[in-house]
Amino acid sequence: MRLLRNLLRNPAGAIGLAMMALTAAATVLTPLLSPFDPFALDFANAMQPPSALHWFGTDNFGRDIFTRVLAGAVYDLRLALICVFGPMAIGVLVGLAAGYFGGRVDALLMRLTDIVWAFPFYVLVLAIVGVLGPSETNLYIAFFIVNWIGYARIVRGETLLISRLEFIEAARVLRFGRLRVMLRHILPNATTPALVYSMSDVVLTVQAVAAMSFFGLGVQPPAPEWGLLIVESIDFMREAPWMTIFPGLAIVWIGIAFALLGEGLSTALKPKG
Amino acid sequence: MFLAILKRLLMLVPVLIGITLLSFLLLQIMPGDPASRALGTRASAEELEAMRQLWGLDKPLWVQYLYFLRDCVTGSFGVSIFHKQPIITLVAARLPFTLAIVAYSTVIALVIALPFAILAAARRGRLTDVAIRQVFVVLIAMPPFWLCYVLILFLALGLGWFPTGGVGEGFLANLYRLFLPSLVVGLSTAALIQQSLRAALIDTMQADYIDTARAKGLRGREIFLRHVLPNSLISTISIIGVRVSWIIGGTVVVEKIFSVPGLGSLLIDAIVSRDLPVIRGLTVFFAVMVVIVNLITDICYALADPRVRLE
């Protein structure tokens, strides 16, 4: 609650939170906002430019793009959030273990991160899904293999720093168990910078999951996922540019929301004094 | 210095082995028999058997890995099923385009980031600074594959200033034709460089030796050009080093969209045609590229800043 209040006091955090609340509300209230069905075909109204009736215009099948973009939010947000926070959980545990136990555990885990780190993100994700075959599950597998390294590195560094602080010494002197010191005292403090980082990670991951369906390797049609909306629009780009532009703007909107939220979080979570 | 570099090279050996091992395991997680997956359902039993022998699939797993390691060490990286050529031959023809985009986009990023970083640092905390930061936030939020099409829509189809894709002959033609793809990759790098350079400039301006320079009677402009800017740019080298993996990964997307015959297009085509040795070989090659560029930026960093030692 205090975090929320601090977040709202920060302009960037407040705007970011408001944008997310608006998106969530629009996703839930889609039937109230739009009279159209995101899947129903209506050839009589194909490729209409944006108007008072069709805010974002219609596509080559006469489907309302505004409705489809709203319906797509569920896919993109679900994919992006799972692909960020799932791997984040793995990365935090790996970083914590490496930083706390040190020695061989640290050396082994960090060499593993070095190896995964060497692969360009898009190359490794494309290769994994390319080998496994296109599907949403395989997309998750690929992101879980790739996306944890950033968190492992951040949390390891933080854990090393925090372990040397006085309050950890105090907890040790009090003969608190290792597990308790690690989970109750180090973990919450070491996770803070990882949480800030995760916001910018969401920005890039929304783009990445959309890019995967853009290459035909992620969510499959006829889902109104944003990357799919864009790839399906390419052939009509000359006659109906709104088909390409609006789904992309939805990704930009989400990106700005999370970027601002990250900026707000980094201010709100900064230790006092 | 020479010894330090040699030590760094030796330390790379376990990472390089790890890279080949991970790429090798990549193919093992594939469901089903790799040979029948690669050849499709119409392949005859003899063809499948020949393929298994060619890849050594009839051998134990560790022997297969050693075969692959041999291919990587001898430089062929395996043989393409689709092109029927060593992968290194395919790579050699396409590498220049990818490297060109990597270099070009970094130059574009610097040209964009430099003035805005200086302006933001000079006006830090004020409206200009905040406005610049927000503009770069919007830049980061734009998905590269979409930005490619928006640029094609407005600058290529609309205004006709640029071609919609492809490459040309010679340096100047490609400087022009590779501008849009490099711009897309460069914009996201620019945002990162702007942020770090702004912070570095502010830090340097508060350093003691800047006070000394001022006390010596140097003018503000001279102090900035001779002391503040060069020292701040050093940190940018390491940012580019950290970022290079993203820059190289970003080329994959833009190459495909702008039909640039680089490594990224090769990778996407290999995925579409299920050319598994190419996927595996290219994955290794990309990672080795990142490792080499990282090493080069580390060495540059150590050369530029005498306080940094290569450990």
Q: 3-state SS string over chain A?
A: CHHHHHHHHCHHHHHHHHHHHHHHHHHHCHHHHCCCCCCCCCHHHCCCCCCCCCCCCECCCCCEHHHHHHHHHHHHHHHHHHHHHHHHHHHHHHHHHHHHHCHHHHHHHHHHHHHHHHCCHHHHHHHHHHHHCCCHHHHHHHHHHHCCHHHHHHHHHHHHHHHCCHHHHHHHHCCCCHHHHHHHHHHHHHHHHHHHHHHHHHHHHHHHHHHHHHCCCCCCCCCCCHHHHHHHHHHHCCCCCHHHHHHHHHHHHHHHHHHHHHHHHHHHCCCCC
**CA–CA distance, B112 with B98 (Å, rounded to integer):** 21
**Residue A138 vs residue B31, higher pLDDT:** A138
Taking contacts as CB-CB distances below 8 angstroms, the residues of chain A near B291 are: 118
**CA–CA distance, B5 with B311 (Å, rounded to integer):** 9
Q: How confident is the model at residue B31 (pLDDT cuts 50, 70, 90)?
A: low
pTM assigned to the model: 0.86
Instruction: Check whether A85 has a pLDDT greater than 70.
Output: yes
Q: Residues B260-270: what's their mean pLDDT?
A: 90
Query: Which residues, 6+ apart, have CB-to-CB distance to A39 below 8 Å?
Result: A63, A222, A224
- Report A:214-233 residues touching B (Cβ under 8 A): 214-217, 227, 230
Q: Residues A194-204: what's their mean pLDDT?
A: 90
Q: Residues B142-164: what's their mean pLDDT?
A: 85
Q: Residues B194-220: what's their mean pLDDT?
A: 83
Taking contacts as CB-CB distances below 8 angstroms, the residues of chain A near B153 are: 237, 241, 244-245
- Mutation site for B-interface testing, chosen from A10, A113, A131, A243 by largest number of B Cβ within 10 Å: A131
Q: Helices A187-214 and A136-146: crossing angle, nearest 10°?
A: 140
Q: What percent of chain B has pLDDT above 90?
A: 14
Taking contacts as CB-CB distances below 8 angstroms, the residues of chain A near B31 are: 132-133
**Residue B263 vs residue B125, higher pLDDT:** B263
**Residue B291 sits at the chain A interface (C-beta within 8 Å):** yes
Query: Which residues, 6+ apart, have CB-to-CB distance to B210 below 8 Å?
Result: B204, B223, B227, B228
Please report the pLDDT score of residue B126 as a whole number. 86
Distance from CA of B249 to the nearest CA of A (A): 5
**Residue B11 vs residue A97, higher pLDDT:** A97
Tokens linked to B52: 């298994």
Of B152, B249, B288, the CB nearest to A122: B249
> Is A114 in Cβ contact with B30 (below 8 Å)?
no
Please report the pLDDT score of residue A273 as a whole number. 41
> Is B287 in Cβ contact with A118 (below 8 Å)?
yes
**CA–CA distance, A99 with A196 (Å, rounded to integer):** 19
DSSP chain B: -HHHHHHHHHHHHHHHHHHHHHHHHHHHTSSS-HHHHHH-TT--HHHHHHHHHHHTTTS-HHHHHHHHHHHHHTT---B-TTT-SBHHHHHHHHHHHHHHHHHHHHHHHHHHHHHHHHHHHHTTTSHHHHHHHHHHHHHHHS-HHHHHHHHIIIIIIIS--S-SS---SSHHHHHHHTHHHHHHHHHHHHHHHHHHHHHHHHHHHTSHHHHHHHHTT--HHHHIIIIIHHHHHHHHHHHHHHHHHHHHHHHHHHHHHTT--SHHHHHHHHHHTT-HHHHHHHHHHHHHHHHHHHHHHHHHHHHH-TT----
**Residue B149 sits at the chain A interface (C-beta within 8 Å):** yes
Distance from CA of A176 to the nearest CA of B (A): 37
Q: What percent of chain A has pLDDT above 70?
A: 99
- Mutation site for B-interface testing, chosen from A20, A69, A123, A246 by largest number of B Cβ within 10 Å: A123
CB B4 within 8 A of CB B309: yes
Q: What percent of chain B has pLDDT above 70?
A: 93
**Residue B148 sits at the chain A interface (C-beta within 8 Å):** no
**Residue B151 sits at the chain A interface (C-beta within 8 Å):** no
**Residue A211 sits at the chain B interface (C-beta within 8 Å):** yes
Torsion angle of C-alpha atoms B133, B135, B136, B142, degrees rounded to 10: 150
**Residue B55 vs residue A64, higher pLDDT:** A64
Taking contacts as CB-CB distances below 8 angstroms, the residues of chain B near A259 are: 137, 140-141
**Residue A137 sits at the chain B interface (C-beta within 8 Å):** no
Q: Residues B43-71: what's their mean pLDDT?
A: 78
Of B30, B138, B152, the CB nearest to A131: B30
Instruction: Check whether A272 has a pLDDT greater than 60.
Output: no
Distance from CA of B220 to the nearest CA of A (A): 33
Q: Residues A172-187: what's their mean pLDDT?
A: 80
- Mutation site for B-interface testing, chosen from A119, A234, A236, A237 by largest number of B Cβ within 10 Å: A119
- Model confidence pLDDT, tens digit, residues B93-151: 899 999 999 999 999 999 999 999 989 988 888 888 888 988 988 988 999 999 998 98
A38-47, A171-180, B33-42: range with lowest mean pLDDT: B33-42
A211-225, B5-19, B45-59, B107-121: range with lowest mean pLDDT: B45-59
Q: What is the rounded average pLDDT for all residues in chain B?
A: 83
Q: How confident is the model at residue B37 (pLDDT cuts 50, 70, 90)?
A: low
Instruction: Check whether A142 has a pLDDT greater than 50.
Output: yes
CB B153 within 8 A of CB A230: no
**Residue A127 sits at the chain B interface (C-beta within 8 Å):** yes
Q: What residue of B is the nearest CA neighbor of A205?
A: B143
Please report the pLDDT score of residue B235 as a whole number. 77
A111-125, A200-214, B125-139, B167-181: range with lowest mean pLDDT: B167-181
Instruction: Check whether A83 has a pLDDT greater than 90.
Output: yes
Of B140, B248, B276, the CB nearest to A255: B140
Instruction: Check whether A271 has a pLDDT greater than 90.
Output: no
> Is B268 in Cβ contact with A121 (below 8 Å)?
no
**CA–CA distance, A126 with B252 (Å, rounded to integer):** 10
Residue A50 CA: distances (Å) to CA of A27, A239, A240, A246: 20, 13, 10, 10
Instruction: Check whether B308 has a pLDDT greater than 80.
Output: no
Q: How confident is the model at residue A100 (pLDDT cuts 50, 70, 90)?
A: confident
Q: CA neighbours within 13 Å on the CB side: how many for A271?
A: 6
Query: Which residues, 6+ apart, have CB-to-CB distance to A8 below 8 Å?
Result: A14, A17
Please report the pLDDT score of residue A256 as a whole number. 93
Taking contacts as CB-CB distances below 8 angstroms, the residues of chain B near A230 are: 145-146, 149
Q: What percent of chain A has pLDDT above 90?
A: 26
- Model confidence pLDDT, tens digit, residues A54-75: 778 787 777 888 888 888 888 8
**Residue B30 sits at the chain A interface (C-beta within 8 Å):** yes
Please report the pLDDT score of residue B311 as a whole number. 52
Instruction: Check whether A144 has a pLDDT greater than 90.
Output: yes
**Residue B192 sits at the chain A interface (C-beta within 8 Å):** no
Chain centre distance of CA A107: 29
Q: Residues B78-94: what's their mean pLDDT?
A: 83
